[in-house]
């Protein structure tokens, strides 16, 4: 069985305990944060296990290479502390159970994964993806499983993720462009953390997009718009790739306006917390986030995750902000939309 | 050409009467399990007077009559069991009047629910009626005589409770007005404060008269309609969840359902909670009360509100909801039947267990659905079974299952909804003899020659 590779000495000697001190949903000073993390490491009860809304951010806040969020998730499952009601958890587990209804394109060394999100297949079209869009994987069989971190079900990840990786391996894929943060995080962060071998190179689609835009530089017509960015939870598993968002926006002439909840302090879209913590938490999150967007004066909110886009599109539109996926924004910049 | 055909032709004209094989084939069956029985004639009148003349002719000659709407009951209620004349009411489809301030409409009996909805949407955007989740072709008259239920059932009861007056052609050919319209030009009450005679016709499955006009109560239509879906893995909790929801008085329609496929629905019970409002604030206010009413289950992890994605929301908000119909072709071959008794909400767990038992032992595709009627006063529980018409063995298993379900329902104190002839017989076996005696008195007096939809509610 795969086991989380976690070094408790790193936490014990941590001078900041930033993983929990910086948490935007539970208020803690450094000493409390340190004590609680040590309790979690030792398998003792901690209020963190009950109150975490699973925003993934502590994975990013830890700059010492440990995996605080994965550990919290492990401990919750061990102790039977369900973040969500059982029925909701089961629903999400059942909905992506592989049933042999996957689709595979004309696979080459470099392929693209649409995971199990049909929206992604719709995005990966046109000049930006002309070299890779036909070499694709789609279906529950290729679902990256990271979502189960939200539901404290690392057992599902450990059970299913190796099979997903094995299936991808069978196609002889050498480089896999992941059209979703979760997929990239799954192969680049979760799998290594659990000692699961990944025999191909995962490429974050934002990196691919940036490089492709560079190739198409002469077709870019700067958009001259003001935007805000909705950072998704799974982006915390690949914070080293966040700069590509800024680089892409700069390249296409979209000005990322300053606001309170961006970068490290970004707020989650609110819909997973709605399932886990209820409507009051979710509504508060969304209100603060959207108020902040509106105050920034941005015309567009740029999305990276289709789920975030689904969660917030209607609400931000009512506030006069246009929702758009970053891929569609890039297409706009090269005159495709 | 025989005398009867000639007489019918004189009444409705050559384009609206037939004894041809094609029509007799078509009107011999519905979409359910009932074996076909051919009529001798099919006739489509345009006016109440034409209906009256047809009925008088049939009564004089002792010819059976079957009044038919769109033929969508699935339980064979318009299959002419003893031949005779099928009166297709769909040409009587005029919306005669809408009294906006008194919130009622007067429509001809063959008017479809879809037409009423479209008309109100266009001309009276603040009014609505209780549209059932049947295909939109289902007619107002037929839906009332079977005590149909629609989207306003939780708030206002059966669709038959929303009748505000009737015009009826009795089996002896009299045209009778029922309710306030019997002594006034206004159709605002089907009974009170007069003797309520509507019960002589409603629920009788067309065996006591033909509804030629219906007064239909209309209700406020809010600008926004939204849905929340509460999910639990414990069927035992569902009745209490429904009780708490109905207590809020904040909700439009409430449905509870479960089905094993697609997989995301497996093992859970889903409670659809429809919320309406004129403003976002009204919607949020109501949602908050709904959420709070179920907080105990959420805190105990016994249930929660699922994320209804925008793509999923659209089909759930359709009226009628087309996805119900897609289940009908699950097995390909277009076979679909359900037993839909009216039963106490507290019986939900037993209904679920029984459906799972039947589905498993009969190897049938199934889904269970409850529509709450009134403030949890009762529910219509649909034991739905899909089958392939080309598979006679599967059809037999469905027939057997439906009969077993009917027996189960009666044992649990339920009553049948739009029962097939078989289910009617079983119901009469469970009914108080004096009730049957009273039904017989009514039937004998209204229909002395037994011509109206014979075979149904045969109390003789």
Query: How far is B64 from B52, CA to CA, in rounded Å?
Result: 14
Q: Give the N- to C-terminal CA distance of chain B in Å, as an integer.
A: 34
Nearest chain A residue to B287 by CA: give it: A279
Q: Which residues of A touch B314 (CB under 8 A)?
A: none
The domain made up of B92-220 has a fold known as: 3.30.465
CB contact under 8 A, A278 and B298: yes
> What ipTM, to 2 d.p.?
0.94
What's the pLDDT score for residue B1?
56
Q: Which residues of A touch B306 (CB under 8 A)?
A: 88, 91, 275
- Encode pLDDT of B248-267 as tens digits: 999 999 999 999 988 999 99
Nearest chain A residue to B313 by CA: give it: A310
Q: Does B247 touch chain A (CB under 8 A)?
A: no
- Encode pLDDT of A135-164 as tens digits: 999 999 999 999 999 999 999 999 999 999
Query: How far is A259 from A178, CA to CA, in rounded Å?
Result: 28
Q: Do domains A93-209 and A216-333 have the same CATH topology?
A: yes
Residues of chain B with CATH 3.30.465.10: 92-220
Q: Which residues of A touch B304 (CB under 8 A)?
A: 84-85, 87-88, 275
**Angle (deg, nearest 10), helices B3-12 and B48-61:** 170
The C-alpha angle B400, B401, B402, rounded to 5 degrees, equals 95
pTM of the predicted structure, to 2 decimals: 0.95
What's the pLDDT score for residue A337?
72
Q: What is the DSSP string of B3-25?
A: HHHHHHHHHH-GGGEE--HHHHH
Residue B353 Cα, gap to closest chain A Cα (Å): 18
Q: Does B179 touch chain A (CB under 8 A)?
A: no
What's the pLDDT score for residue B335?
79
What's the pLDDT score for residue A149?
97
Its CATH class, for the domain covering A93-209, is alpha beta
CB contact under 8 A, A86 and B265: no
Q: Does B231 touch chain A (CB under 8 A)?
A: yes
CB contact under 8 A, A99 and B297: no
Residue B269 Cα, gap to closest chain A Cα (Å): 8
Higher pLDDT, A302 or B329: A302
Residue B226 Cα, gap to closest chain A Cα (Å): 13
Query: How far is B402 from B355, CA to CA, in rounded Å?
Result: 10
Nearest chain B residue to A311 by CA: give it: B309
- Encode pLDDT of A290-301 as tens digits: 999 999 999 999
Strand order in A254-256's β-sheet? Answer: A254-256, A225-230, A300-303, A322-325
CB contact under 8 A, B306 and A279: no
| Token output for B223 | 């600008």
Q: Which residues of B touch A82 (CB under 8 A)?
A: 301
Q: Is the pLDDT of residue A89 over 60?
A: yes
Percentage of chain B lying above the pLDDT 70 cut: 100
What is the mean predicted confidence (pLDDT) over A73-89? 96
Q: Is the pLDDT of residue A276 over 80?
A: yes
Residue of B300, B306, B312, B317 to mutate for A, most A C-beta atoms under 10 A: B306
Q: Which residues of A touch B289 (CB under 8 A)?
A: none
The domain made up of B3-90 has a fold known as: 3.30.43
Residues of chain B with CATH 3.30.43.10: 3-90
Q: Give domain limits for chain A.
A: 8-79, 93-209, 216-333
Q: Which of B197, B165, B175 is nearest to B97 (CA)?
A: B165
Give the CATH number of domain B224-411; options: 3.40.462.10, 2.40.10.10, 3.30.230.80, 3.40.50.1820.
Answer: 3.40.462.10
- Encode pLDDT of A232-269 as tens digits: 999 999 999 999 999 999 999 999 999 999 999 999 99
What's the pLDDT score for residue B333?
76
User: In Å, what is the CA distance from A99 to each residue of A104, A117, B25, B34?
Assistant: 14, 15, 42, 36
Residue A321 Cα, gap to closest chain B Cα (Å): 18
CATH number of A216-333: 3.40.50.1860
What's the pLDDT score for residue B459?
87
- pLDDT band at A312; cut points 50, 70, 90: very high
- Encode pLDDT of A206-225 as tens digits: 999 999 999 999 999 999 99
- Encode pLDDT of B270-303 as tens digits: 999 999 999 999 999 999 999 999 999 999 999 9
Q: Does B258 touch chain A (CB under 8 A)?
A: no
Nearest chain B residue to A85 by CA: give it: B301
The parts of chain B modelled with pLDDT lower than 50 are none
Long-range Cβ pairs for the range A70-74 (8 Å, 24+): A70/A4, A70/A6, A70/A149, A70/A154, A70/A190, A70/A193, A70/A194, A71/A4, A71/A6, A71/A40, A71/A41, A72/A40, A72/A48, A73/A149, A73/A152, A73/A154, A74/A4, A74/A154
Residues of chain B with CATH 3.40.462.10: 224-411
H helices of A131-204, where? Answer: 154-170, 181-185, 191-193
């Amino acid at each position: 069985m795969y086991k989380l590779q976690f070094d408790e000495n790193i936490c014990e000697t941590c001078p900041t305990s930033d993983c929990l001190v910086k948490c935007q949903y539970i208020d803690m000073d450094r000493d409390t944060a340190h004590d609680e993390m040590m309790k979690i490491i030792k398998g003792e009860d901690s209020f963190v296990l009950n109150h975490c809304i699973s925003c993934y951010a502590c994975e990013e806040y830890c700059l010492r290479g440990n995996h605080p969020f994965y550990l919290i998730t492990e401990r919750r499952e061990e102790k039977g502390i369900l973040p969500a009601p059982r029925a909701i958890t089961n629903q999400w587990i059942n909905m992506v159970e592989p049933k042999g209804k996957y689709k595979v394109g004309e696979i080459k060394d470099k392929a693209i994964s649409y995971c199990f999100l049909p929206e992604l297949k719709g995005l990966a079209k046109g000049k930006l993806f002309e070299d890779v869009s036909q070499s694709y994987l789609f279906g529950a069989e290729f679902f990256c499983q990271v979502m189960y971190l939200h539901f404290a079900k690392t057992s599902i990840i450990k059970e299913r993720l190796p099979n997903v990786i094995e299936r991808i391996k069978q196609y002889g894929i050498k480089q896999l462009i992941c059209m979703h943060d979760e997929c990239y995080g799954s192969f680049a962060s979760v799998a290594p953390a659990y000692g699961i071998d990944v025999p191909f190179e995962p490429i974050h689609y934002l990196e691919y997009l940036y490089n492709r835009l560079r190739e198409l530089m002469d077709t870019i017509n700067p958009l001259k718009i003001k935007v805000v960015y909705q950072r998704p939870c799974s982006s915390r598993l690949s914070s080293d790739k966040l700069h590509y968002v800024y680089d892409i926006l700069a390249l296409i002439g979209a000005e990322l306006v300053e606001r309170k909840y961006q970068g490290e302090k970004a707020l989650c879209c609110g819909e997973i917390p709605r399932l886990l913590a209820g409507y009051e938490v979710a509504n508060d999150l969304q209100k603060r986030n959207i108020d902040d967007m509106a105050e920034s004066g941005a015309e567009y909110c740029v999305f990276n995750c289709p789920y975030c886009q689904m969660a917030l599109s209607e609400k931000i539109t009512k506030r006069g902000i246009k929702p758009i996926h970053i891929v569609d924004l890039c297409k706009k910049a090269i005159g495709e939309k | 050409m025989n005398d009867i055909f000639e007489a019918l032709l004189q009444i409705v004209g050559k384009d609206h009467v037939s004894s041809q094989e094609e029509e007799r084939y078509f009107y011999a069956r519905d979409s359910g399990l009932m074996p076909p029985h051919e009529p001798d004639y099919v006739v489509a009148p345009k006016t109440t007077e034409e209906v009256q003349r047809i009925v008088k002719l049939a009564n004089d000659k002792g010819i059976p009559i079957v009044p038919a709407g769109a033929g969508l009951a699935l339980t064979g209620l318009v299959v002419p069991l003893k031949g005779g004349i099928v009166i297709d009411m769909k040409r009587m489809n005029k919306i005669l009047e809408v009294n906006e301030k008194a919130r009622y409409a007067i429509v001809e009996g063959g008017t479809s629910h879809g037409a009423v909805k479209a008309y109100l949407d266009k001309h009276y955007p603040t009014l609505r009626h209780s549209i059932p989740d049947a295909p939109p072709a289902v007619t107002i008259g037929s839906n009332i005589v079977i005590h149909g239920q629609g989207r306003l059932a939780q708030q206002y009861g059966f669709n038959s409770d929303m009748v505000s007056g009737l015009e009826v052609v009795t089996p002896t050919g009299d045209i009778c007005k029922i309710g306030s319209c019997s002594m006034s030009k206004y159709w605002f009450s089907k009974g009170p404060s007069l003797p309520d005679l509507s019960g002589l016709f409603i629920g009788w499955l067309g065996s006591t008269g033909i509804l030629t006009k219906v007064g239909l109560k209309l209700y406020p239509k809010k600008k926004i309609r939204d849905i929340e879906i509460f999910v639990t893995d414990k069927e035992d909790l569902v009745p209490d969840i429904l009780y708490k929801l109905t207590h809020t008085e904040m909700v439009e329609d409430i449905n509870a359902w479960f089905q094993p496929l697609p997989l995301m629905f497996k093992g859970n019970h889903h409670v659809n909670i429809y919320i309406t409002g004129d403003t976002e604030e009204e919607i949020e206010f109501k949602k908050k009360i709904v959420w709070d009413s179920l907080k105990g289950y959420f805190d105990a992890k016994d249930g929660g509100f699922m994320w209804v994605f925008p793509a999923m929301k659209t089909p759930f908000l359709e009226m009628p909801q087309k996805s119900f119909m897609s289940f009908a072709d699950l097995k390909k071959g277009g076979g679909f039947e359900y037993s839909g008794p009216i039963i106490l909400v507290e019986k939900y767990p037993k209904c679920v267990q029984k459906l799972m038992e039947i589905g498993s032992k009969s190897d049938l595709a199934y889904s269970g659905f409850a529509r709450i009627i009134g403030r949890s006063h009762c529910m219509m529980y649909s034991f739905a079974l899909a089958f392939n018409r080309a598979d006679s063995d599967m059809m037999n298993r469905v027939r057997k299952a439906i009969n077993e379900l009917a027996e189960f329902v009666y044992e649990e104190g339920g009553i049948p909804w739009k029962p097939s002839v078989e289910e009617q017989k079983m119901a009469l076996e469970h009914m108080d003899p004096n009730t049957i005696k009273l039904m017989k008195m009514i039937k004998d007096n209204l229909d002395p020659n037994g011509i109206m939809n014979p075979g149904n509610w045969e109390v003789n």
